[in-house]
Amino acid sequence: MIPLSVLDLSVVTTGTKPAAALRNSIDLARHVDGLGYVRYWLAEHHNLASVASPAPDVMIGQIAAVTKHIRVGSGGVMLPNHAPLVVAERFKMLEALFPGRIDLGLGRAPGTDGATAYALRSRLDRREGDDFLERLHELILWETREFPAGHPYNNVVAMPDDTKLPPVWLLGSSDYSSELAAQVGMGFAFAHHFASHDAVDAMVHYRNRFQPSAWRATPHAILAIAVIAADTDEEAERLASSFDLNRLRRDRGQYLPLPSVEEAVAYPYSDSERTSILRNRSRLFVGSPATVQKKLQPLIDASKPDELMVITAVYDHEARKKSYSLLAEAFGLVKPAAV
């Protein structure tokens, strides 16, 4: 069966605090560590009441320290917000502390609004326009130490210098991202859960254009999907009502904490809002494990991912954990041996 991984946004729910969302992330990571999931990636978002993790590298260290088997990484570090040297040193340090268990996923969006993105960059690091390629190239050079002769960074070393960067992945939702990942020979993770671009096109494009590199000899494509699983279709639909209202609010620019099922069920939807909900559901797989598998299979067959990365956003933390347990069983994940 296809391997499964986890993408965690550390979602804040109505009536709780961001600190509780972070603790829930640690608890969920412990839970899936024993179920056979391959990776646990943390997102980077800023100035949003709906998510609680602006610093994935901090969470990576915390989660790697309390788990034994699962790889832990960023999904992703928004490279425009950071000096490449800082990213290189932080992830080399994580790799030194947890060798063979760290992933560095990189995104090209700021993960926030314009004012916050501006505030995140120092006055010396406010480059004009889309500078992702420039920053990615610099990050690679911190690893290869191949700055040209006379470059001001020739005598600067990314520490710890006895540790390599962990595997690097490019995150995206378009052919641009898949083309770039293929050109530089890195892993690729496609964000089906919010992309307007066709996942199949992006995944096929990445595989066809992949160039072997020092990072990877062969392509590796991750398909990130939104799933809500429960014992029955009816219970899964009930849990998904929180997603429906939350996504409707996001489409209006309202990034609020995830509402409870009770709040979502009681909301007086208009006909146009119900139409929007149906459209948004095209990127969400809801149901019992058998139903979810049936809905997913055509996408898996067409896009041929090397693994699925699952994001599950439901109001109740225990229901979220159960959703991942049900998927692990349905997809035949092998639990790791006790250490």
177 close to 107: Cβ distance less than 8 angstroms: no
Q: So what's the pLDDT on residue 89?
A: 99
State the pLDDT confidence band at 236, using cuts at 50, 70 and 90: very high
- In sign, the C-alpha dihedral spanning 237, 241, 246, 247 is positive
Q: So what's the pLDDT on residue 310?
A: 99
Q: For residue range 169-215, what is the model confidence (pLDDT) as tens digits?
A: 999 988 899 999 999 999 999 999 987 778 999 999 999 999 999 99
Which domains does the chain carry? 4-330 (3.20.20.30)
Question: What is the average pLDDT score of the chain?
Answer: 94
pTM > 0.85: yes or no: yes
Q: Could you tell me the CA-to-CA distances from 266 to 215, 235, 260, 269 in Å, in that order?
A: 51, 16, 10, 9
CA nearest 306: which of 184, 179, 216, 230? 216
- 203: tokens are 């995944």
Q: So what's the pLDDT on residue 67?
A: 99
Q: For residue range 20-53, what is the model confidence (pLDDT) as tens digits?
A: 999 999 999 999 999 999 999 999 999 989 999 9
Give residue for tokens 């600067």: 156
DSSP label at residue 54: S
Give the three-class secondary structure for 85.
helix
CA nearest 45: which of 102, 109, 104? 109
Question: Could you give the CA distance from residue 134 to residue 79 in angstroms, rounded to a whole number?
Answer: 10
335 close to 4: Cβ distance less than 8 angstroms: no
Is it the case that residue 113 has pLDDT exceeding 80? Answer: no
